Structure 1
Amino acid sequence: MYVTITAQKIGENFAQGSADFVNYLEKENEGKPIEEQEHFFNQYGEGVSAKEVIREIDGNKAKLKKHEPKFYSITVNPSPRELKHLQSNSEDLKAYTRELMKEYAKNFNREINGRAVNVDDIKYYAKIEHERTYKGTDKVIIENQSFATKILELKNEIRKIEEGKLRGNIKSLQKKIVKLEKEAPHQQNGKRIVRGMQKEGSQAHVHIIVSRKDMSNTYSLSPGSKYIASETKMHGKNVKRGFNRNEFFKKAEEVFDKQFNYKRNYVETYKARKQFIKNPDKYFASIMGLSTHQKAVAFKLLGNAGVKVPLMNIPTNKAQLAYKFFKKLKQTIDRGIQSSSIGI
């Protein structure tokens, strides 16, 4: 499970309205019959129109200054293994999103009328998407790039020949292009994977647009706060502030596991990702300390993410941890995380 929270920006400035973002989330519905379209939903209902979402979010930003975020985007990205575990992607993800937003509310260190924040104070709308396309940062695109460059050069050469600017054999160049297309290391349905190509398999994920202000349009609830929990004086009164992002991310997977009886492997956990970033030696030692079955699952998950793990050469205890081996493995996993190919 990979969850992100971001303030919506246009260039260097925060978006003053939600229309562009909401309309972007409608892209998958284009050309589809109504019964196949995904609509916005929230804690209380479904079938919310894009027009209503824009009206509600943009009408809920009282007293927010131009340099302050008006709304945030939460993206919930289940891993392929998690999606495979679900019975019904859309309905299960809707149910999960509603439970997740309860945890979102709980992690604000704020009080509204003397009580803790709860989900009824949160104005949000969510939408499920089922498609993803390959980006320039994806590992498969990067590894196919040298072939893409050569193919482009050959196509430019053909164009110049056709324009009479160069002499050459067009058929011979076209055969080279066909050969390069087939030799590219990453293929999908017999075609070289290129930027913008739709990814195959289940790609379901959730986009949530959540207002900075509470339901009453009175209190500011910022998940981007640099504080986890603190107090400050406002108008002569002590006011709590802060949002515990670490706890929210941890709860995101705990809620999923409990709701769907999911058995999470160590490498899929938020704790593992944090440990990998802060202390890779402990990360690898933790993998080696897993049971034989869980270790095999961990290696399989890393392998599915494009991390080549030479199982026969992995040290079996901490004393044998080979620095060069794990440094190389860390670099590989780094690339996987950067391209969002590791669902942890």
Structure 2
Amino acid sequence: MYISITKQYLDTTFSQSSSDYVAYLEKENEGKLPEQLEHFFDQYNERIPPEQVIKEIDGNTAKLKKREPKFFALTINPSQRELRHIDNDPELLKKYVREVMKDYAASFYRDTPVSVDSIKYYAKIEYERAFKGFDREVKENQVYRAKIVRLENEIRMVERGEVSGNVKAMREEIDRLNAQMPHRIVGQVVAQGMQKPGLQTHVHIIVSRKDVSNRFSLSPGSKYMESESRLNGKMVKRGFKRDQFYENAEKRFDILFKYQRNYVESYSARKTFVQDPKIYFAHLLGLPTNERSAALKIMGAAGVHVPKLNIPSNKVEAALQAIKQFKKAVDVARSSSSIGI
């Protein structure tokens, strides 16, 4: 499970309104019949029209400055393993989202506890993802594409008589490079914009910066987790407990659906890897055989080349270098699930 939180972009290329982001979330509905449309939902309601989402979010911005974000975007990205566990059921996913938003509200550090009824949010399920330029498969194929483009330019220069060269040999080299491209889907070379295979279901959530009363600011982007400051002569609590939110959201899924989470799937493991890969690797080595085997399969499915773990101590450092590829996979996952708004 990977959950991202992104603030509204407010530079000159983006609207002050939520309309651009809501329009972006409507992209999968283009060309579909009315009965096939995927609708917004909130904690208690279904089939909320996009116009209402825009009106409610844009109208809930009292006393916010022009350069302050008016809303935040959460993206909930279950893994394919998690999606298979719930049979990719959208109703179960909605149930999970509504529980997660309880955890989101409870993670605000305030004098008066924040409940899910205090926040204004709208969520929408999407079923597709496209490859982006920073995806590993696109980047590795691009190395070959760049060489092909250079050769094609050289062929055109030869044909125009600008330079001399062996066109036949260059065309053969292009064919060889095309054949060597490492990433394909059903024979088609993976490129930016191509749909990703397998289960790609995820949820986008737009959350107002202000609470439902339009009086209090609730920012998950606060640099504080738990702190107190003086406001109008009174000490007040502020902050958002991000670690608590991520961990509780993960536990929600496991308890709700009786999911047996492997170590490498956990938020705490990802955090440990970023902070100290050696501790992460030592923990991985110490897993029971069946859990370690499952961990390797999960990492392999993410495109991580993992060394054999029955290695002598003098080669642990070499294995650590190989296992560090996992960090790259985590970084790619983090990037590919973060949506610009």
What do the CA deviations read for 1:179-236 (whole angstroms, capped 9, x no partner)? 4223201111101111111111110111110000000101111111122222223233
**What is the one-letter code of the residue matched to 1:132?**
R
Query: Residue 191 in 1 paired to residue 188 in 2?
Result: yes
CA–CA distance in structure 2, aligned partners of residues 323 and 155 of structure 1? 43
Alignment-derived partner of residue 152 in structure 2 = 155
SS at match of 2:39: coil
Alignment-derived partner of residue 325 in structure 1 = 319
What do the CA deviations read for 1:11-44 (whole angstroms, capped 9, x no partner)? 4898521111111111111112222221111101
Conserved in 1, the CA contact under 8 Å of 2:273 and 2:327? no
Q: Please report the TM-score for the alignment, with normalisation by the length of structure 2.
A: 0.91
CA–CA distance in structure 2, aligned partners of residues 248 and 268 of structure 1? 16
Conserved in 1, the CA contact under 8 Å of 2:73 and 2:204? yes
Aligned positions of 1:39-118 closer than 5 A: 39-111=39-111, 115-118=112-115
Query: Residue 238 in 1 paired to residue 235 in 2?
Result: yes
1:74 deviation in Å? 0.6
1:244 deviation in Å? 0.2
**What is the one-letter code of the residue matched to 1:329?**
I
Please identify, of 143-152 and 11-20, the stretch whose mean Cα deviation from structure 2 is larger. Answer: 11-20
CA–CA distance in structure 2, aligned partners of residues 6 and 28 of structure 1? 21
CA–CA distance in structure 2, aligned partners of residues 169 and 326 of structure 1? 46
Distance 1:176 1:75, change over 3 A: same
Query: Where do 5+ consecutive residues of structure 1 fail to align?
Result: none
Alignment-derived partner of residue 28 in structure 1 = 28
Alignment-derived partner of residue 334 in structure 1 = 327
What do the CA deviations read for 1:23-79 (whole angstroms, capped 9, x no partner)? 111111111222222111110111111111111000000001122211101111111
Q: Please report the TM-score for the alignment, with normalisation by the length of structure 1.
A: 0.90
CA–CA distance in structure 1, aligned partners of residues 336 and 160 of structure 2? 48
Q: Say what the alpha-carbon RMSD is for the aligned residues.
A: 2.5
Alignment-derived partner of residue 268 in structure 2 = 271
Please identify, of 116-125 and 145-154, the stretch whose mean Cα deviation from structure 2 is larger. Answer: 145-154
Alignment-derived partner of residue 222 in structure 1 = 219
Aligned positions of 1:112-261 closer than 5 A: 115-160=112-157, 176-261=173-258
SS at match of 2:333: coil
SS at match of 1:197: coil
SS at match of 1:207: strand
Percent of aligned pairs with the same amino acid: 51
